[in-house]
Chains A and B, each alone.
Chain A
Amino acid sequence: MATRDSSLLDVRGLELEVVAGAMRKTLVAGVDLRLERGETIAIVGESGSGKSLSARAIVGLLPTGVVARAGQVIFDGRDMLQESPREVARVRGSSISMIFQDPFTMLNPLLRCSKHIEEVLKIRVDNPITNRAEARREALARLVEVGITDPTAADRYPFQLSGGMRQRVGLAAALAGDPAVLIADEPSTALDVTTQAEILDLLKDVQQKRGMGLILITHDLRVAFSVAHRVYVLYAGSLVEVSTSAALEHEPLHPYTLGLLLSEPAADRRLDRLVAIDGSVPGPDEVAERCSFASRCEWVTDACLAGKPTLSTLEGERETACVRIGEIRSEMSAAHLGAKRLVVVTPLEHRTRDENAILRATGVSKVFVGRAGNEVHALRNVSIEVGLNESVGLVGESGSGKTTFGRCVVGLETATSGMIDVGGIRSEDYSTLTREQRTAIRKTVQIVFQDPYSSLDRTETVGAALREALVVNGFPRDGVKRRIAELLELVGLPAGYARRRPAALSGGERQRVSIARTLVVEPKLIVCDEPVSALDVSVQAQILNLFRDLKDEFGLSYLFVTHDLAVVRQVADRVYVLYQGAVVEEGPTEQVLDRPQHDYTRRLIASIPRSAV
């Protein structure tokens, strides 16, 4: 273990807060990080953990209003928090560089790709290249380094490139100053599954070849394990565990890390019940004087509430902030191993042709006419069936047409050709339906959307939203109040939530309300359009469990649209794989995921992050 002085980068006791007039809100409450030369570390945390802000503090790029309250960021013997902005700017790019999550917004839309690299080459501290032609030659070489060998790409504008290509250009630009440290903030999250794996591999590759220090910010423990040597787990603004990847994967030593690992839906096996962490992430100020995880921890005792625990070294390089680790370690270990064994394969009898199918779509095509008159074939001759009380997964990447199909089913889009039969009513074109038919379809199929933050009208209370849905669908007014309470209870929310507005709910709670709203009409089929992909992992499992419970209780059918194979594994009985608008493979979930027949399916499965060890 290297001594602290020789570390490439050393962050000590970093505290961040946002200041607005007299209001102060803690965002990060004490983070220590150490990065050695040639090492990759990962900072793992859910939304609100402060992981991105901590990274931005290192490069002096905190958003307006956010300030470092305490701590040091020691690089090259200097405390970056104390240096002048000009000095920090000199370090940025040339010594510490950073790339961001969204390739679609990261590049200047008015600048050709190679310019993003050339401008850094010109101003970098070591060996700046001022000659234009030389800078361009070097930029082309840098593009080759990130796997862009086509020289014409250099002269394109960002809007002419795909997301993966843009992320590569971004990486080349971030590396143009040959930094000693690269910070990558969720570099693959906004990309398609297969592209994600490519970008992560590229990052790993570049890091090794350059012997560079890499800090990976991610919400996904699997991604962290696959790339990083060591992992820092951040929760509600403070570190709860630090460990090598291998050791952490083998045995987590903090209940939060354990919960995170367990609640991650497994892609390789179906679990009887997903382990969820109840509740949601608190704000750092709420947990300033106690263990930040105490409110959600099953092992909580008074000792956890007595004060803020700090990291303590356990063995070797392992550190944990759990004060009870000595007492509960064996229990945690048992839970961890137990979960691994919790393999429940439920091979449903494969129904080939269901006379009672709730949804039967045959030969559905959808063509969008683009702005310039060009045609985009979103769906090509897609045939899909969903049986009664069956959960069908629709898997594909962005642009595969999976969402478009779901929208066609509920009438938010109209198919260009083909036949859609919902509960015995031909519904491919809603505009030709009678009022009665529309009502009948509406009472058969409903939809849950991806984004919990805009799924509810933020100007009305939860109760008002449910009341509107009930009244519009002819529910007698005098029973509305009781029914609202019932609906909320069904999705696991207290009746008092009816008085709340969406702003007072967490992402998971909003998604529960969205589900309750679909239940108003007592539908037989719910189209679920990526319903958990915007949620934190610890909350995802809660919602997936809820979906399963509702299915059993009401005999619901699902059309589960998702890009996430692990989610499909947990909720779907049967799977359709969509690629470029066409179904390339279908079958029972186990069969498709374990013995994929089509090349594309194999590629999808191969791109699931796996640990490096």
Chain B
Amino acid sequence: MVAPASDATTTKWFVRRISLRRVPPIFMTMSVIVVGLIVFLAIFGSLIEPNDPFQQDLLDTSAPPSPEHWLGTDPLGRDILSRIIAGADSAIIGPFIVAFTGLLAGSGFGILSGYMGGTADMVIQRLVDFMFALPGLLIAIVIVGVVGGGYWLAVLVLSILNVAGGVRLIRGAALEQRALPYVEAARTLGVPRWRIMYLHIWRNISPIVFANAALDFALALVALSSLSYLGLGSQPGEAEWGRMLSENQSLLFSNPAGVLAPALAIVFFATSVTIIGDWIYDRFSYGGRTGR
């Protein structure tokens, strides 16, 4: 028996919406700028790179920062700044594919599993629970290492392993929605199942879906660069931020700015995307759970 919503609960809802806004607006602005900048570099980078990122100069290796090479050169004499700019696209494409696969498969299977229940749910659940307990990056290391594939194999492996988390989260959210009267009313009115699942329920849980995709993106960026750092995933010579760190690590004490700059690029990009995800979640989800 639901009592008339007491004013304490309605107020709680109101207060919740404001006090849970974890993201100060200034951070949000900065995050959008960082993401915008990296997207810009990925698209127009080749036009503004000061030097050819792949041009080796064996006469000018491991150089410290100079007016010509702002961040110095790597052990093969390539301009570090140009290589960072050239690495922007692989920092976006791979993580985007991982996050987007997670979004599609997570919504698809998660809502299906949560809404339909029964055998399909049980099978999906068992599979997902198992996958979820797996250490994704560790498995990616083993598979990519043993099979010897490059960046795309790494993206594929991470995409598959990443789906489990999304399915779990979205299934839970869909399960909550399924029991709500608006869904049951649609059922009794004869609204087709696919419409209920992928229109009504999806629309209601989309803040969770997008926030989760943002988090997936950040985690995939971190995972892909970790693989590259270990010499897996990206190929030698490719301009990739994680790989740059391992290639340049020997310069850490002579040219720290040059070595750590790609690391900072990863950190800022991943942090910004996470913050945007948090913001989406806080801004657009009503009530529901406070955290993931």
CB neighbours of B15 from chain A (8 A): 18, 20, 63-66
Asked if B59 lies at the interface with its beta carbon under 8 angstroms from chain A, I say no
In the complex, what distance in Å separates the CA atom of A431 from the CA atom of B182? 21
Q: List 11 A-B contacts (CB under 8 A).
A: A18-B15, A56-B8, A411-B187, A442-B188, A459-B200, A459-B203, A459-B204, A473-B189, A507-B4, A521-B189, A536-B4
Interface string of B1-40 (1 = CB under 8 A from A): 1111111101110110011000000000000000000000
Q: Contact check, A412 vs B187: say whether CB atoms are below 8 A apart.
A: yes
Asked if A101 lies at the interface with its beta carbon under 8 angstroms from chain B, I say yes
Q: Which residues 90-122 of A have a CB within 8 angstroms of B?
A: 101
Asked if B133 lies at the interface with its beta carbon under 8 angstroms from chain A, I say no
Question: In this complex, what residue of A is CB-closest to B3?
Answer: A189
CB neighbours of B286 from chain A (8 A): 458
Instruction: Write the nearest CB–CB distance from A475 to chain B, whole angstroms.
Output: 12
Instruction: Write the nearest CB–CB distance from A128 to chain B, whole angstroms.
Output: 30
**Contacts known (A190-B1, A455-B181, A534-B2); A51 close to B188, Cβ less than 8 A:** no
In the complex, what distance in Å separates the CA atom of A81 from the CA atom of B189? 53
Q: Contact check, A533 vs B1: say whether CB atoms are below 8 A apart.
A: yes
Asked if A517 lies at the interface with its beta carbon under 8 angstroms from chain B, I say yes
Q: Tell which of A42-50, A147-155, A322-330, A335-343 binds the partner.
A: A42-50
Asked if B47 lies at the interface with its beta carbon under 8 angstroms from chain A, I say no
CB neighbours of A191 from chain B (8 A): 1
Question: In this complex, what residue of B is CB-closest to A407?
Answer: B184
**Contacts known (A21-B18, A47-B6, A459-B204); A514 close to B11, Cβ less than 8 A:** no
By size class, the interface of chain B is 20 to 34
In the complex, what distance in Å separates the CA atom of A66 from the CA atom of B19? 11
Asked if A577 lies at the interface with its beta carbon under 8 angstroms from chain B, I say no
Q: List 18 extra interface pairs beyond A190-B3, A455-B181, CB under 8 A.
A: A18-B11, A52-B6, A52-B7, A53-B8, A65-B19, A185-B8, A186-B3, A438-B190, A450-B2, A451-B2, A458-B182, A458-B286, A460-B200, A472-B190, A507-B5, A521-B189, A530-B1, A534-B2
CB neighbours of B3 from chain A (8 A): 101, 186, 189-190, 219, 534
Q: Could you say which of B4, B19, B188 contacts A447, with CB atoms under 8 Å apart?
A: B188
- Count CB-based A-B contacts (< 8 Å): 133
In the complex, what distance in Å separates the CA atom of A145 from the CA atom of B14? 39
In the complex, what distance in Å separates the CA atom of A25 from the CA atom of B15? 11
Interface string of A300-321 (1 = CB under 8 A from B): 0000000000000000000000
CB neighbours of A518 from chain B (8 A): 189
Q: Contact check, A456 vs B1: say whether CB atoms are below 8 A apart.
A: no
Q: Which of the listed residues A454, A460, A473, A514 has the most CB atoms from chain B within 10 Å of its own CB? A: A454
> B residues near A, CB below 8 A?
1-8, 10-12, 14-15, 18-19, 180-182, 184-192, 195, 200, 203-204, 286
Question: In this complex, what residue of A is CB-closest to B182?
Answer: A457
CB neighbours of A454 from chain B (8 A): 180-182
Asked if A469 lies at the interface with its beta carbon under 8 angstroms from chain B, I say yes
CB neighbours of B190 from chain A (8 A): 438-439, 442, 472-473
Q: Contact check, B8 vs A63: say whether CB atoms are below 8 A apart.
A: yes
Q: Contact check, B187 vs A63: say whether CB atoms are below 8 A apart.
A: no
Q: Contact check, A53 vs B11: say whether CB atoms are below 8 A apart.
A: yes
Instruction: Write the nearest CB–CB distance from B185 to chain A, whole angstroms.
Output: 6
CB neighbours of B14 from chain A (8 A): 18, 20, 25, 65
Instruction: Write the nearest CB–CB distance from B89 to chain A, whole angstroms.
Output: 35
Interface string of A20-37 (1 = CB under 8 A from B): 110001010000000000
In the complex, what distance in Å separates the CA atom of A450 from the CA atom of B185? 12
Q: Contact check, B11 vs A27: say whether CB atoms are below 8 A apart.
A: yes
Q: Contact check, B8 vs A52: say whether CB atoms are below 8 A apart.
A: yes
Q: Could you say which of B5, B10, B191 contacts A472, with CB atoms under 8 Å apart?
A: B191
Asked if A520 lies at the interface with its beta carbon under 8 angstroms from chain B, I say yes
Question: In this complex, what residue of A is CB-closest to B203?
Answer: A459
Q: Could you say which of A48, A451, A469 contacts B181, with CB atoms under 8 Å apart?
A: A451
Instruction: Write the nearest CB–CB distance from A465 to chain B, whole angstroms.
Output: 8
Asked if A157 lies at the interface with its beta carbon under 8 angstroms from chain B, I say no
Q: Contact check, B192 vs A472: say whether CB atoms are below 8 A apart.
A: yes
Q: Contact check, A49 vs B191: say whether CB atoms are below 8 A apart.
A: no
Q: Contact check, B7 vs A51: say whether CB atoms are below 8 A apart.
A: yes
Q: Contact check, B10 vs A48: say whether CB atoms are below 8 A apart.
A: yes
CB neighbours of B5 from chain A (8 A): 47, 453, 507, 534
